[in-house]
Copies of this chain bind each other. A is one copy, B any other.
Amino acid sequence: MPRPTELPAWQQLHSHRQTLDAWRADAALAADPSRRERLTVEAGPLTADCAHHRISGDTLQLLAELADQAGVQTRFARMLRGDPVNLTEGRSALHTALRSDTPLVVGGTDLRANIAAGQQAEREFAAAVRSGDWRGASGASIRHVINLGIGGSDLGPALALDALAASADGPIARCVSDLDPRALAAALGDCEPASTLFIVCSKTFGTLETLANAQRARNWLLDGGIPPAQVQRHFVAVTANPQRAREWGVAGEQCFAFGDWVGGRYSLWSAVGLVLQIACGSAVVAALHRGAHAIDTHFADTPIERNLPALMGLLGIWYRNFWGAQAHAVLPYAWPLRRLPDYLQQLEMESLGKRTDLDGHPVTWDTGGVLFGAAGSHAQHAFLQLLHQGTALIPADIIVFDDTAALEPALNANAHAQARVLCTGGQVAAAPAPHGDLPGNQPSTVIRAERLDAESLGALLACYEHKVFTQACVWHINAFDQWGVELGKQVAQSILRGEPG
């Protein structure tokens, strides 16, 4: 595939961008009553209103051509069938297969059968813990489940446990990631060793932070009276390296494996979701997968102009490469989704923070920016001032749910008010002019679902995954590696050994 700057649509977008300096979305909305309807896109349980963006009819067409010229959907088809799209590690990226029933054979291996067997084992184990059939060393049933993981082995479970707390009917589940021992100590405050199960979640089973916490957990169990010979009853492992988990001391039948073709930040769909399954049950996990799969199908099959993940990716490119934006805000107007920006921060920044293209050349175009955000009502009182009256262009995703508005109508009223004011601007009457002037023309997407549930959460996460895929295709980079974080780990070890810098 060519470099983006060589694609005809990229060059046309540059010329086109020059014509839009004085263009305003609010004027376009006023001039064209069909604009909002035309720019509202449906994808699975999600509906997204893109009318507030700095896009004229020509923009959308050129962006769609850019996606076609970069081969976004062709390359997604290759990803789905297991091609080694993670070129620098020589691996496929098959998180989509974890949420699909479609038969899949890769390199002679029946992956679907393997996945199904693993999922069956996870379901059975989770059900046994939930029912109380699976017990700790002393025969007590499990009341607390603590997931020990970091990065992709933590953010997905932590997000889903919060988002779907209303569905939690099993043991109390918590996630601990930080190397600071106070994090684990706080999580164990009201736990009893006899009724606590730890899930050690690490793709390599070599993650410093996670193994440190696992060792502390073992000490806590031993100090709490669990006999050494039975302490393994309180550990399960979720890993792509079960051999190493067994060496650490997890019983073979308590190791839940996933393939090296699942990237950490794409791993909620794998056995990494085990803690969610124990807390909420298998129907919730199935709904999460169903929602994501609906978006996989949508992304694969829908023309780019109506393809939500593709549009999200293309809009990001539009602002990053043609308007100089370096950051993007995510604002869920639902408290259970307050960790969504943290999750997406890893997904986007680790996937797209790259400066070498797929051909091994340094990029000469900007790639990923900063993703940040917070629950919307908090954001209004913390940092939205800068979006309204600052000098940086920061597009925002505003996420609303009908069922949340039913709990408190002012939540969605505020969400829509922010989207409107970001677009139209206006004057604050009480302020001394011109300090109350808001310029408007700040882009946002309002993403809506009927319910905040497992299905809409799955759909939302898959949308951002494929947004990232779209951007990586156009930017001609590998979204599935993260070599940049390796050097710091090595240097930290050398500092610990007291070697000079």
Name A's B-contacting residues (CB within 8 A): 88, 150-152, 154-155, 165-166, 177-183, 186, 207-209, 212, 264, 325-327, 333-336, 338, 342, 345-346, 349-350, 352-356, 360, 362-363, 365-370, 372, 374-375, 377-378, 380-392, 394, 404, 407-411, 413-414, 416-418, 420-421, 426-428, 430-439, 478, 481-489, 491-496, 501
Contact = CB atoms under 8 A, between A and B. Distances in A.
B180 A495 contact: no
Q: How many copies does the complex hold?
A: 2
Contacts of A345: 372, 374, 382-383
A306 B410 CA distance: 49
Interface centre among A352, A370, A478, A493 (most CB of B within 10 A): A370
A433 B487 CA distance: 14
Given A327-B370, A414-B489, A435-B478, 17 more contacts: A88-B435, A150-B378, A179-B414, A326-B327, A345-B374, A349-B382, A349-B383, A350-B385, A352-B390, A355-B439, A356-B389, A363-B391, A384-B485, A413-B492, A417-B495, A418-B488, A435-B481
Contacts of A88: 431-432, 435
A349 B382 CA distance: 8
B378 A335 contact: no
Contacts of A388: 353, 484-485, 487-488
A387 to B, nearest CB: 7
B488 A421 contact: yes
- In order of increasing CB-CB distance, the 5 nearest A-B pairs are A353-B386, A151-B381, A388-B484, A180-B335, A353-B390
Given A350-B386, A382-B345, A488-B414, A435 B180 contact: no
A421 B434 CA distance: 45
Contact of A409 (B333, B381, B428, B496): B496
Interface centre among A334, A349, A487 (most CB of B within 10 A): A487
A12 to B, nearest CB: 23
B488 A392 contact: no
Nearest to A491: B417
